Structure 1
């Protein structure tokens, strides 16, 4: 059974306030206030003097792999939101792998589920390791630079933050065991037409809630059995509405990073996991949910259930 061995993360100290984006995205003072007071997003993390390789490097360093673990890593999966994250011919993933002695591992990107690709990467890593049938390990990396307008701001929804995460995955383990995974793919949301975007917003909370409840049911549990939900940091109101629909207490959703980190692409789940462990929100045996939604070529609503 797929298990998380350890999780590392990196969030830079620099913050970009929502007000600084007003001119570029033609935001009115009222729209800025809505972001701060309604969506509860006031700023996003930035690393203006750091490259994407620097972000991934910092998260890997935080993971603190031992030489023995490095030798056992068979796969390195880079989960990302956007199809292209650096200009050709740069390849920060392979550069970082070489620096950390991981050149022997098969390294590739996973991005088919947009911001939910981190969950897809964990599932795929577990499947690859299970097929190998040995004591191999896999690394799941996440994190991107907010290098374009689309990668900085989602109108009326969220701000993207810069940071990174690194997750060491094993084919089995006694802690942080994966109990279930659900991914709902919605191809009808392919495109940028206004009516497509409007329908996506209309069904968003029900679809995300359904993914969460389906994953919990697949794990043989009820929502009352879930100690905490580790969300993607899109905004607070989205989780208020989702929790209301499924009847789950909002105070058991870890939302403290939304206001200052922003939506850190696919790294949200692992950044929040690190916080939950450090704050003692997860005790041995607790079941918890990691949930995410992605929009790109279609939409994805995903949820995983783990046992700590």
Structure 2
């Protein structure tokens, strides 16, 4: 049994409005209005911190005890892009050393792009189950928008900076993983211009199918899902996905789409923190974390948890 035993998050206070990116990405005034009014993407978070600093702030917020820190055996860094800093910097190991986790086995998980956060949680749980000795794992996520590709996806989303750190255990009474579904679509491993239109055409059906399949695998009806914690790609994507599967849009936590942007693989955990703070999750509630990733193919993933 995989359990989310704790979550730490950090989102910088700085913001960049969509209008500030218009010249760099050659956006017309109409395209800017579409982002702000249609996709509900008005601004994205930005910080002065280095990537080491971003990850460190999330690890600090996780507030591990000395006993927990000593039991952390694995750290998995879930990331969207293969390269997140210029060579030879190593922000993951720098952040772990500062957090007292330099002893842990640390590696990156990025094979499923923006869905890699869910994959990392699943892998962490599998590693701990195989060990079977009470060890812990930490899944960290978050990147800097340091290149054009890491700032915006044309006509789809703008990336925000932030980070999360999730403590994973093999057992516990809260936030227990009930099911995980990942649909891999290798046909989208090609040049963006060649596959983009077909990816957009199947996107909402494929994401909706992952959500419904995860619920079925967990033995839970969609009506019994208290809330969906989404990736913050844009509001329209979730409006259409919810329409496909008949799920109420008001039960998808979209609070941060307009103010944070798409915070890479950290969206799910930032949204989890907000759901708890807003009282959207009560003991025993079932909820879904869902994400889609594009790059080296496409992945549509969903997890069902019991709070």
TM-score class, shorter-chain normalisation, is: over 0.9
Question: Structure 2: how far apart are the matches of 1:241 and 1:177?
Answer: 28
1:23 aligned onto 2:34: no
CA drift at 1:64: 0.5
Question: Structure 1: how far apart are the matches of 2:275 and 2:211?
Answer: 19
Q: Any gaps of 5 or more consecutive residues in structure 2? A: none
Question: Structure 1: how far apart are the matches of 2:99 and 2:87?
Answer: 22
Question: Structure 1: how far apart are the matches of 2:88 and 2:70?
Answer: 28
**Secondary structure, aligned partner of 1:229:** strand
The aligned residue for residue 139 of structure 1 is 138
CA drift at 1:100: 1.3
Question: Structure 1: how far apart are the matches of 2:295 and 2:68?
Answer: 35
1:61 aligned onto 2:63: no
CA drift at 1:195: 3.3
CA drift at 1:165: 0.2
The aligned residue for residue 46 of structure 2 is 46
The aligned residue for residue 107 of structure 2 is 108
Question: Structure 2: how far apart are the matches of 1:274 and 1:191?
Answer: 36
CA drift at 1:87: 1.1
1:9 aligned onto 2:6: no
Question: Structure 2: how far apart are the matches of 1:264 and 1:117?
Answer: 13
The aligned residue for residue 287 of structure 1 is 286
Question: Structure 1: how far apart are the matches of 2:226 and 2:100?
Answer: 37
Question: Structure 1: how far apart are the matches of 2:148 and 2:126?
Answer: 35
The aligned residue for residue 155 of structure 2 is 156
Question: Structure 2: how far apart are the matches of 1:101 and 1:230?
Answer: 30
The aligned residue for residue 96 of structure 2 is 97
The aligned residue for residue 235 of structure 2 is 236
User: Counterparts in 2 of 1:72-221, with a 5 A limit?
Assistant: 72-221=71-220
CA drift at 1:194: 2.2
**Secondary structure, aligned partner of 2:243:** helix
The aligned residue for residue 33 of structure 1 is 33
Deviation per CA, 1:8-33: give whole Å up to 9, x if none.
Answer: 10000000000000000000000000
**Secondary structure, aligned partner of 1:199:** helix
CA drift at 1:97: 1.0
Question: Structure 2: how far apart are the matches of 1:244 and 1:124?
Answer: 31
Question: Structure 2: how far apart are the matches of 1:170 and 1:247?
Answer: 33
Aligned residues: 307
1:249 aligned onto 2:229: no
Question: Structure 1: how far apart are the matches of 2:3 and 2:300?
Answer: 21
Q: Any gaps of 5 or more consecutive residues in structure 1? A: none
Query: For structure 1, which segment, 90-99 or 196-205, has the greater mean C-alpha deviation from structure 2 after superposition?
Result: 90-99
Question: Structure 2: how far apart are the matches of 1:98 and 1:162?
Answer: 22
**Secondary structure, aligned partner of 1:6:** strand
Question: Structure 1: how far apart are the matches of 2:101 and 2:229?
Answer: 29
Deviation per CA, 1:257-305: give whole Å up to 9, x if none.
Answer: 0001000000000000000011110000000000000000000000000
The aligned residue for residue 271 of structure 2 is 272
